[in-house]
Chains A and B, each alone.
Chain A
Amino acid sequence: MHRLAQELRSILGPRGLIDDPTKLLPYESDGLAMVAVPAELVCLPRDTQEAAACLALLHREGVPVVARGAGTGLAGGATPVANGVVVSTARMRDILEVNPLDRFARVQAGVVNVDLTRAASRHGLRYAPDPSSQMACTIGGNVANNSGGPHCFKHGATTRHIQGLVIVAHDGEILDLSEPHLDPVGYDLVGLFVGSEGTFGLATEVTVKLVPTPALDEVLLAVFSTLDDACDCVSEIIASRLEPSALEILDKLTIEAVEASVFAAGYPVGAEAVLLMEVEGAGPEVEGTSRAIRKIVDRHSPLDVRSARNAEERRKLWAGRKGAFGAMGRIAPDLYVADAVVPRSRLRELIRTTIAICHERNLRLANVFHAGDGNLHPNICYDRRNEEEVARVLEAGHLILKACVEAGGALTGEHGVGLEKLEQMDLLFAPHDLDAMCRVRDVWDPERRMNPGKLVPLRACMELRTTRLEHKPEGIA
């Protein structure tokens, strides 16, 4: 590694490489804190050319590569691999172009989501995908995971907003797909790349679609005495074909955590659930949709329903939702955030199942989730130093995913498969489905050095230097 470090430093400069063990510590895991693998080297290229030179060298040396944005991912997608190198986009933070006329922006992959939104807002535009971690997560990371966020209910996930990419392939080849096209010329390489979790290559520049800031938005808060009522209310809103821009549920434990934190939003402590809703558009459109939503809410025995009176109240209500994960640091040292998706007509049933699974294993559970998309986020509280508790958490996570898949759901709505859900891919896909994925992966990375051991279980395929979950629930091979 010493010789490799020297060569990498000659490409990246003294600030472009981290090999000091102390400084490498923050890179040993991402948001999936229960899995940690020491990073041996971290490369910090400044632009596409440096990244390409770096990947070309790592290709010649046969070294595995793990791409990393801000490390906010929750599925272990950025967890280092043994004998591998982490390539971070942390120094690629330039907004290259904001084009209000053609409504797109070109940014380097390390640009933080909220910084892009701020830059676009000067032109009355915005980048719609808004993950809860948007204050820290990067556009490149969003591309890798096809990230979502509360407003993806109306505007769609990241893939719907990506118009172009510059990709550095496994061997350092630069593939420039940055020009925004209405439709792909030939196969949709950009659409295929989004959500590939760093296994196809490294996106260094991203062209994103910008959409107008809504003329009006109304934020409604409905308070319920049971979580069932909140879930049923959402299912009825969906069945009634109404189109708010966001539908988010927070349960009692989450409300308490938020209200005790700096993100306190004025949610009523003591309520079993709140439903946070946003409607955006033109005046009569917003009024009509809000009126119809309120009628549905009223049928589900709300304790209260109110509309934010001004921009500051709207901001606070959203800050509470987006700060929920951070706020939960008050109630447990660690949090396991599952990410299953279920049919929206079956929210109540699957939430009940989730609660029962955690209750049976004596685990504290907080639910805060994108109800409108059927995207559950059961947050299981634990302490990673307690091995027995970690085993129970993983078992509960596995059973929750299994129940969701059996109900017609999927393993992940926005966090990605990463390491965390690798073993559960078999629940959703048959061997030949996975084989087709392998075939496409091998086109991009025939040596399987890009983020090895993530996303697709490579059963029969020879895999290089994979990492595995340190703790596996019983019953998982």
Chain B
Amino acid sequence: MNIEARLGEIFPSEELQHFRARFGLPDLPLVAPRCEERVADLLKAAAQDGWKLVVLGGGSTFSRSPSPARADAVLSLAGLSGVTAYEPRDGTLTALAGTTMAQLEETVHAGGHHLSPEVARPEVATLGGVVASASSGFERLRFGAVRENVLGMRVALCNGSVVKSGGRLVKNVTGYDLHRLFCGSNGTLGVICEVSMRLYPLPEATRLLTSVYPRREAALAKARESFELPISPLAIAVSDLADGGGHLLEIFLAGRSEVLAWATEWLNERVGDLNTAPAESTRERRHILRDDVRAPLRFHCRPSRLEETVATIERCAEAQGQEARFLLNPALAEGTARFSNPANLEQLAVALGGTRPAATLLWTGTFPAPTPGPGRWMEKLRTALDPTGVFAS
């Protein structure tokens, strides 16, 4: 019996769809279960029949992942949607994995809370997908990485059992933090069905301060001076402007109005004259920075090695006739690079790898290979949790 026929036996027609080829995957049958039990049914069938499943959230970051060698069906979590519990008095949120970030933001904003991460395309990105890909947000500097805000989750394992790790409490060390393992595992260890998140107060106001410098080094030096600001900004960014227009320093502040006024004065005194962007421009730039996920190269390194890393990438790009443009987050020492000839990056990737940079490079469509020691332990974990290889990788 072919896979479509078998799926037709197990699932009602409204849960069966067709996945049209994209993300490097071919046309495939797609199952969108509407409850955990249905997810479990699919996993049991996959284990029994030897299918390989690709787990898909909203697909907002899927294009960054490498294509699996083999996939027989797509498990979409779009049908597993809804808020399980929003507890405004406790500052926690629990929701099903297929709920979009936009829906969750709307829910918690009404209660005066902020849900981190603030990611690209929130109307498409799902909570489960964001957690599975460990996509941290635009405002990570203030609120931390996504894995640090996950309080617990329910995960369907390859044998169909749905297990719990952590809980809905802001503090809890009962049992192993298995949710840390699933966070960032890109659907290779289990299917995240429900996630509990820590919430933050929704800032009363935001403000964007900017300045343009002729040299990148000067913009980075000014950014470093802003690190001493006694409150944590939402983000600090240094980006290359088009056509040699210089280098833009942006500092996004959030908080009570009087704190923003004080911080603006502090920054103007210490860092130099900064322009306060109009509200419309602040929103627009926030969206632009938030949506910077399509750059072909992301990287992170130690803060002290940021300039060296940027110089190495720039040098390698130049050697191949490419011009590189960067968007840097100097406080976290991460950034993205875009290139003048995006169709021809393979040689550049090889050349950059050859320089042994003191940075982690994440090219679209690849995951960096862990060094052999940790890689072996990761493989052991994958084998322990998915011994029959149900999850495509």
Contacts and interface: CB of A to CB of B under 8 A. Distances in A.
Interface stretch (A175-183, A308-316, A318-326, A382-390): A175-183
Nearest to B185: A187
Nearest to B304: A101
A186 B374 contact: yes
A433 B163 contact: yes
Contacts of B259: 282, 284-285, 288
Contact of A185 (B229, B255, B261, B370): B370
Interface stretch (A108-116, A341-349, A351-359): A341-349
Interface footprint category on A: 35 or more
B324 interface: no
B231 A341 contact: no
A194 B89 contact: no
A425 B334 contact: no
Interface string B191-209: 0000000000110000000
Contact of A410 (B174, B183, B256, B368): B174
Contact of B360 (A160, A185, A288): A185
A79 B172 CA distance: 22
Contacts of B300: 181-183
B177 A375 contact: no
A159 B183 CA distance: 14
A54 to B, nearest CB: 20
B173 A188 contact: no
Given A214-B230, A238-B91, A440-B384, A176 B373 contact: yes
Given A182-B334, A185-B368, A192-B177, A239 B169 contact: no
A332 interface: no
A430 B302 CA distance: 42
B319 interface: no
Interface stretch (A15-23, A269-277, A412-420): A412-420
Contact of B89 (A345, A425, A433): A345
B382 to A, nearest CB: 8
Nearest to A373: B171
Contact of B87 (A148, A157, A173, A343): A343
A344 B201 CA distance: 16
Nearest to A416: B173
Interface string A268-304: 0000000000000111110010000000000000000
B375 interface: yes
B193 to A, nearest CB: 13
A204 to B, nearest CB: 15
Contact of B177 (A191, A214, A410, A433): A191
B173 A413 contact: yes
A370 B171 contact: yes
A141 B290 CA distance: 38
B258 interface: yes
A238 B169 CA distance: 13
Contacts of A212: 228, 230
B384 A442 contact: yes
Contacts of B113: 241
Contacts of A186: 367-368, 370, 374-375, 378
B57 to A, nearest CB: 18
A119 to B, nearest CB: 19
Interface of B: 87-91, 112-113, 134, 136, 144-145, 147-148, 157, 161-165, 167-178, 180-181, 183-185, 189, 201-202, 228-231, 255-256, 258-259, 261-263, 266, 300, 302-304, 332-334, 360, 367-368, 370-371, 373-375, 377-378, 380-382, 384-385
Given A413-B173, A455-B176, A456-B175, 11 more contacts: A159-B180, A173-B373, A176-B373, A181-B360, A186-B374, A192-B176, A192-B181, A288-B259, A414-B173, A429-B164, A433-B175
User: Across chains A and B, which 10 residue pairs bring their CB atoms closest together, nearest first?
Assistant: A191-B180, A215-B230, A241-B201, A282-B230, A345-B89, A186-B370, A373-B171, A182-B300, A239-B89, A436-B163
